[in-house]
Amino acid sequence: MKKINPKLIILFVLLLLLMILLRGAIIIPILIIISFSLSFLINNFPIRNVGIELATFIGIIIGRIYGPLWGFISCGSLILIHILAGGFFGIYALWVIPTYAIAGALSGFIKGDIVSIGIGLSVFINVVEGIFTSIFSPAFLVKHIPYAITNVIFNVILFTLFGNVVLFFI
């Protein structure tokens, strides 16, 4: 069995302590960088119809911690970047971006645990998008339904596994 270098353990503990001390000053930028990277990856691989995005998770976490205004700004901005970087731009952006922004703002008002809030707002986003898509772009609904289902599943996993962990470090 390979022995672990004690210097690496000390470095890891120091980095962990630094992250706890700085809290959101490190975690949130790291999450945003991961979100940007994921958006660019989606544009380069054939997974555009799968509901993988981090705008919901990050925007709702930010709204929960820093309030409705920052939730609105971050969730709306992150989904806009995701749409542009992923090559998703179309008429549906007219209702997708405001829906995400509203969900981010709502996360700053709703009381409760982050897992329930995150899952509830993920469902809210996808239901509202589905309604608007069926009204204004019904031909696109065939692509939206699989995206919405996988997006809710993805966010259930994210909020269940990482929601409380991220809040702890922020």
In this prediction, residue 69 carries a pLDDT of: 93
CA gap 55, 21 in Å, rounded: 25
Rounded distance, CA 13 to CA 6, Å? 11
| Angle (CA) 9 36 128, round 5° | 120
Please state the domain extents for the chain. 27-169
Q: How many CA atoms lie within 13 A of 54 on its CB side?
A: 20
Determine the Cα–Cα distance for residues 85 and 64; give it in Å rounded to an integer.
26
For residue 123, the model assigns a pLDDT of 98
End-to-end CA distance of the chain: 36
Residue 110: per-residue pLDDT? 96
Indicate yes or no: pTM above 0.75: yes
The parts of the chain modelled with pLDDT lower than 50 are none
What does the block give as tokens for 59? 């925007």
| pLDDT for residue 30 | 77
